[in-house]
């Protein structure tokens, strides 16, 4: 998917054109400038068309379904179709908040499909969790440790290794902000533990499920388990391990698990 900012000229704080701009927001003060079509700015409760966020571009240019139809006609943004965007600049905080609100835009038929997906994956995860506990007794080991560099999760008892697994980070629940953040958009984690999770976003794009494609949105712990269930299904994982933290919970997909000796 293309960017649209090359079709407009914007000004930095110093009055010079630059690719890394800031903007003064009346609500959030000085912040990163982001670009959306005017239709999303006015009504964010609809599907957002944009690239996946990256470490270099965490708030990618976004536009609505109507603008996307114009984009698809030409296969690019050009002088003939870019006027439809009615381009607006938002600060990155406003962008994130509007984007987060879009997760509830599903039509009734789509909501039914989404609920079915959650239910099916939750049941499958329950069975997988029971199988893991029966075979490896994960809840009875005295200690666990995980290593991002090696993408491993290890269980031990009194210093004696018992079980080791390969993991992929799914996402995290913050009890401070009451939000869910997908690991594919959390660049504070090492690439070794988020190399496969983008497949869940791709699945969400294909099915039209915004809770799988929007990086961060209002959530509770149960939402974390539901997202984890879908991730396990998409990734073909063996189960989930939830790690408590000072500000919430981290959910990991257990890709493989084995006795340590």
Which residue stretches of 102-181 are H helix?
A: 108-136
**Helix (H/G/I), strand (E/B), else coil: 210:** helix
Q: Is the dihedral of CA 191, 193, 199, 203 positive or negative?
A: negative
- How far apart (Å, rounded) are the C-alpha atoms in residues 120 and 106? 19
DSSP state of 52: P
Read off the pTM: 0.91
Q: How far apart are CA 210 and CA 180, in angstroms?
A: 13
Q: What percent of the chain has pLDDT over 90?
A: 87
User: Angle 247-115-66 (CA atoms, 0-180°, nearest 5)?
Assistant: 90
Q: Is it the case that residue 2 has pLDDT exceeding 80?
A: no
254 pairs with which residues across the strands? 167, 239
For residue 139, CA distances in Å to 68, 121, 133, 205 come to 48, 22, 7, 35
Q: Are residues 84 and 66 in contact, defined by beta-carbon separation less than 8 angstroms?
A: yes
Residue 17 — very low, low, confident or very high, per pLDDT cuts 50/70/90? very low
Strand 216-218, strand 143-147: pairing: unpaired
pLDDT given for residue 1 in this prediction: 60
pLDDT digit string, tens, across residues 133-143: 999 999 999 99
Res. 16: pLDDT tops 50: no
């Amino acid at each position: 998917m293309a960017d649209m900012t090359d079709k407009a000229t914007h000004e930095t704080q110093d009055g010079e054109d630059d690719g890394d701009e800031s903007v003064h927001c009346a609500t959030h003060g000085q912040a990163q400038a982001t670009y959306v079509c005017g239709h999303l700015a006015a009504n964010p409760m609809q599907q957002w068309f944009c690239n996946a966020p990256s470490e270099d571009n965490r708030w990618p240019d976004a536009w609505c379904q109507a603008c996307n139809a114009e984009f698809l006609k030409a296969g690019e943004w050009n002088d003939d179709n870019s006027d439809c965007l009615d381009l607006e600049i938002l600060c990155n905080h406003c962008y994130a908040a509007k984007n987060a609100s879009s997760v509830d835009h599903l039509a009734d038929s789509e909501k039914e499909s989404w609920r079915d997906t959650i239910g099916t994956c939750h049941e499958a995860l329950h069975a997988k969790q029971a199988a893991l506990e029966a075979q490896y007794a994960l809840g009875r080991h005295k200690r666990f440790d995980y290593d991002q560099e090696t993408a491993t999760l290890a269980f031990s008892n009194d210093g004696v290794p018992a079980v080791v697994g390969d993991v992929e980070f799914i996402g995290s629940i913050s009890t401070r902000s009451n939000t869910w953040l997908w690991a594919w958009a959390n660049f504070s984690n090492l690439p070794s533990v988020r190399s496969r999770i983008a497949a869940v976003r791709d699945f969400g794009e294909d099915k039209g499920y915004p809770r799988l494609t929007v990086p961060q949105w209002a959530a509770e712990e149960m939402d974390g388990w539901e997202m984890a269930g879908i991730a396990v299904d998409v990734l073909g994982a063996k189960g989930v391990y939830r790690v408590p933290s000072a500000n919430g919970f981290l959910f990991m997909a257990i890709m493989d698990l084995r006795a340590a000796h």
